[in-house]
Amino acid sequence: MASSVSGFCDDFAGDYHLLFEDWEASMTRQAAPIASILERECPAAGASVLYCACGIGTQSLGLARLGFRIIGADVSARAVQRARSEAASRKLDTPFYVADMRNLDEVPTTGFDAVICMDNALPHLLCEADLTQAVGQIRTKLRIGGTFVASVRDYDEILQQHPVVQGPAFSSDEGKHRLVFQVWEFWRY
Protein backbone atom coordinates (compact mmCIF):
# COMPACT_ATOMS: atom_id res chain seq x y z
CA MET A 1 0.00 0.00 0.00
CA ALA A 2 2.56 2.58 1.06
CA SER A 3 4.67 2.55 -2.10
CA SER A 4 1.81 2.59 -4.62
CA VAL A 5 -0.28 5.15 -2.74
CA SER A 6 2.67 7.36 -1.82
CA GLY A 7 3.93 7.31 -5.42
CA PHE A 8 0.54 8.33 -6.79
CA CYS A 9 0.11 11.01 -4.12
CA ASP A 10 3.67 12.28 -4.62
CA ASP A 11 2.94 12.76 -8.33
CA PHE A 12 -0.37 14.49 -7.60
CA ALA A 13 0.70 16.76 -4.71
CA GLY A 14 1.64 19.76 -6.84
CA ASP A 15 -1.65 19.86 -8.72
CA TYR A 16 -4.22 18.54 -6.23
CA HIS A 17 -5.67 21.99 -5.56
CA LEU A 18 -6.67 22.20 -9.23
CA LEU A 19 -9.49 19.72 -8.58
CA PHE A 20 -11.36 22.56 -6.89
CA GLU A 21 -12.83 25.66 -8.45
CA ASP A 22 -11.69 27.63 -5.40
CA TRP A 23 -9.33 25.69 -3.14
CA GLU A 24 -9.46 28.31 -0.37
CA ALA A 25 -13.26 28.14 -0.26
CA SER A 26 -13.09 24.35 -0.39
CA MET A 27 -10.87 24.28 2.71
CA THR A 28 -13.56 26.15 4.61
CA ARG A 29 -16.44 24.14 3.14
CA GLN A 30 -14.82 20.76 3.82
CA ALA A 31 -13.68 21.65 7.35
CA ALA A 32 -17.14 22.79 8.51
CA PRO A 33 -18.88 19.38 8.85
CA ILE A 34 -15.78 17.80 10.38
CA ALA A 35 -15.56 20.68 12.86
CA SER A 36 -19.20 20.15 13.77
CA ILE A 37 -18.51 16.52 14.69
CA LEU A 38 -15.33 17.39 16.57
CA GLU A 39 -17.04 20.16 18.55
CA ARG A 40 -19.76 17.73 19.57
CA GLU A 41 -17.39 14.88 20.47
CA CYS A 42 -14.46 16.84 21.96
CA PRO A 43 -15.71 19.11 24.73
CA ALA A 44 -12.65 21.36 24.98
CA ALA A 45 -12.30 24.35 22.70
CA GLY A 46 -9.27 24.04 20.46
CA ALA A 47 -9.22 20.25 20.63
CA SER A 48 -6.01 18.48 19.58
CA VAL A 49 -6.53 16.46 16.40
CA LEU A 50 -4.30 14.10 14.46
CA TYR A 51 -5.30 13.88 10.82
CA CYS A 52 -4.09 10.60 9.26
CA ALA A 53 -3.78 10.62 5.47
CA CYS A 54 -4.07 14.42 5.40
CA GLY A 55 -2.74 14.85 1.86
CA ILE A 56 -1.75 18.43 1.02
CA GLY A 57 -3.78 19.71 3.97
CA THR A 58 -7.09 20.83 2.50
CA GLN A 59 -9.18 19.90 5.56
CA SER A 60 -6.31 20.22 8.06
CA LEU A 61 -5.76 23.86 7.12
CA GLY A 62 -9.48 24.58 7.29
CA LEU A 63 -9.72 23.00 10.75
CA ALA A 64 -6.64 24.90 11.95
CA ARG A 65 -8.30 28.15 10.83
CA LEU A 66 -11.28 27.20 13.00
CA GLY A 67 -9.07 26.91 16.08
CA PHE A 68 -8.35 23.20 16.26
CA ARG A 69 -4.79 22.17 17.14
CA ILE A 70 -4.06 20.02 14.11
CA ILE A 71 -1.16 17.72 13.39
CA GLY A 72 -1.21 16.08 10.00
CA ALA A 73 0.37 12.85 8.79
CA ASP A 74 0.52 11.37 5.32
CA VAL A 75 2.42 8.59 3.59
CA SER A 76 3.38 10.95 0.72
CA ALA A 77 6.51 13.03 1.38
CA ARG A 78 5.58 15.50 -1.37
CA ALA A 79 2.06 15.93 -0.03
CA VAL A 80 3.48 16.62 3.44
CA GLN A 81 5.99 19.08 2.00
CA ARG A 82 3.14 20.87 0.20
CA ALA A 83 0.97 20.89 3.36
CA ARG A 84 3.83 22.41 5.36
CA SER A 85 4.32 25.10 2.72
CA GLU A 86 0.59 25.89 2.60
CA ALA A 87 0.40 26.11 6.41
CA ALA A 88 3.44 28.42 6.53
CA SER A 89 2.01 30.71 3.84
CA ARG A 90 -1.16 31.07 5.93
CA LYS A 91 0.80 31.55 9.17
CA LEU A 92 -0.79 28.44 10.70
CA ASP A 93 1.13 26.51 13.34
CA THR A 94 0.23 23.12 11.92
CA PRO A 95 2.97 20.48 11.93
CA PHE A 96 2.90 17.76 9.30
CA TYR A 97 4.78 14.44 9.35
CA VAL A 98 5.53 11.77 6.79
CA ALA A 99 3.91 8.70 8.35
CA ASP A 100 1.95 5.73 7.09
CA MET A 101 -1.17 5.30 9.22
CA ARG A 102 -0.02 1.73 9.91
CA ASN A 103 3.03 3.15 11.69
CA LEU A 104 2.53 6.54 13.34
CA ASP A 105 5.82 6.49 15.27
CA GLU A 106 7.05 9.54 13.30
CA VAL A 107 4.31 11.61 14.94
CA PRO A 108 5.89 12.45 18.32
CA THR A 109 2.68 13.49 20.05
CA THR A 110 0.13 11.27 21.79
CA GLY A 111 -2.99 11.95 23.82
CA PHE A 112 -5.01 13.53 21.02
CA ASP A 113 -8.63 14.45 21.68
CA ALA A 114 -9.43 13.06 18.24
CA VAL A 115 -7.84 11.24 15.34
CA ILE A 116 -9.50 11.64 11.96
CA CYS A 117 -9.05 9.76 8.70
CA MET A 118 -11.25 11.27 6.02
CA ASP A 119 -12.00 11.01 2.30
CA ASN A 120 -11.95 7.26 1.93
CA ALA A 121 -8.34 6.80 3.05
CA LEU A 122 -9.01 3.61 5.05
CA PRO A 123 -10.03 1.52 2.00
CA HIS A 124 -6.52 2.06 0.61
CA LEU A 125 -5.54 -0.53 3.20
CA LEU A 126 -6.15 -3.65 1.19
CA CYS A 127 -6.16 -6.37 3.81
CA GLU A 128 -7.58 -6.92 7.27
CA ALA A 129 -4.09 -7.10 8.83
CA ASP A 130 -3.24 -3.60 7.52
CA LEU A 131 -6.54 -2.19 8.77
CA THR A 132 -6.02 -3.79 12.18
CA GLN A 133 -2.49 -2.40 12.35
CA ALA A 134 -3.68 1.12 11.40
CA VAL A 135 -6.49 1.09 13.96
CA GLY A 136 -4.03 -0.07 16.61
CA GLN A 137 -1.66 2.78 15.74
CA ILE A 138 -4.52 5.28 15.80
CA ARG A 139 -5.55 4.01 19.23
CA THR A 140 -2.03 4.63 20.60
CA LYS A 141 -2.34 8.29 19.58
CA LEU A 142 -5.71 8.92 21.27
CA ARG A 143 -6.19 10.00 24.86
CA ILE A 144 -8.41 7.72 26.95
CA GLY A 145 -11.97 8.54 25.89
CA GLY A 146 -10.73 10.20 22.68
CA THR A 147 -12.67 10.13 19.43
CA PHE A 148 -11.86 8.47 16.11
CA VAL A 149 -13.69 9.78 13.04
CA ALA A 150 -13.38 8.29 9.55
CA SER A 151 -15.32 8.72 6.35
CA VAL A 152 -15.82 5.94 3.83
CA ARG A 153 -17.67 6.25 0.54
CA ASP A 154 -20.59 3.97 -0.18
CA TYR A 155 -19.19 2.10 -3.13
CA ASP A 156 -22.04 -0.44 -2.96
CA GLU A 157 -24.40 2.31 -4.08
CA ILE A 158 -21.97 3.45 -6.75
CA LEU A 159 -21.69 -0.11 -8.04
CA GLN A 160 -25.49 -0.29 -8.30
CA GLN A 161 -25.78 3.03 -10.09
CA HIS A 162 -22.77 2.59 -12.42
CA PRO A 163 -22.19 6.29 -13.06
CA VAL A 164 -20.18 6.90 -16.20
CA VAL A 165 -18.87 10.34 -15.22
CA GLN A 166 -18.55 12.17 -11.92
CA GLY A 167 -18.54 15.95 -12.20
CA PRO A 168 -17.88 18.03 -14.21
CA ALA A 169 -16.59 21.11 -12.43
CA PHE A 170 -15.54 24.17 -14.39
CA SER A 171 -13.24 26.89 -13.13
CA SER A 172 -11.10 29.75 -14.39
CA ASP A 173 -8.30 31.75 -12.89
CA GLU A 174 -5.62 34.00 -14.34
CA GLY A 175 -7.05 33.46 -17.82
CA LYS A 176 -6.74 29.69 -17.59
CA HIS A 177 -9.79 27.47 -17.77
CA ARG A 178 -10.17 24.00 -16.19
CA LEU A 179 -12.65 21.21 -16.54
CA VAL A 180 -12.32 18.49 -13.89
CA PHE A 181 -14.24 15.21 -14.04
CA GLN A 182 -13.77 11.51 -13.44
CA VAL A 183 -14.62 8.82 -15.94
CA TRP A 184 -15.65 5.55 -14.32
CA GLU A 185 -15.36 2.11 -15.85
CA PHE A 186 -16.83 -0.93 -14.11
CA TRP A 187 -15.41 -4.41 -14.57
CA ARG A 188 -16.84 -7.72 -13.53
CA TYR A 189 -14.44 -10.26 -12.06
Pairing verdict, β 48-52 and 69-74: parallel
pTM of the model: 0.78
Q: From CA 112, how far away is CA 52, in angstroms rounded?
A: 12
Contact call for residues 113 and 49 (beta carbons, < 8 A): yes
Residue closest to 50 by CA, chosen among 97, 13, 3, 9: 97
Amino acid at 47: A
Q: From CA 94, how far away is CA 104, in angstroms rounded?
A: 17
Tens of each residue's pLDDT in the chain, 189 residues? 445 555 556 555 555 554 556 768 888 988 999 999 999 999 778 899 999 999 889 899 999 999 999 999 999 999 999 999 999 999 999 999 999 999 999 999 999 999 999 988 888 788 999 999 999 999 999 999 999 999 887 666 666 766 655 555 555 566 665 554 555 565 555
Residue closest to 57 by CA, chosen among 21, 18, 31: 31
Amino acid at 182: Q
Enumerate the domain spans of the chain.
2-154
Directed axis angle between helix 77-89 and helix 2-12, to 10°?
40
Contact call for residues 54 and 28 (beta carbons, < 8 A): no
The CATH fold assigned to 2-154 is: Rossmann fold (3.40.50)
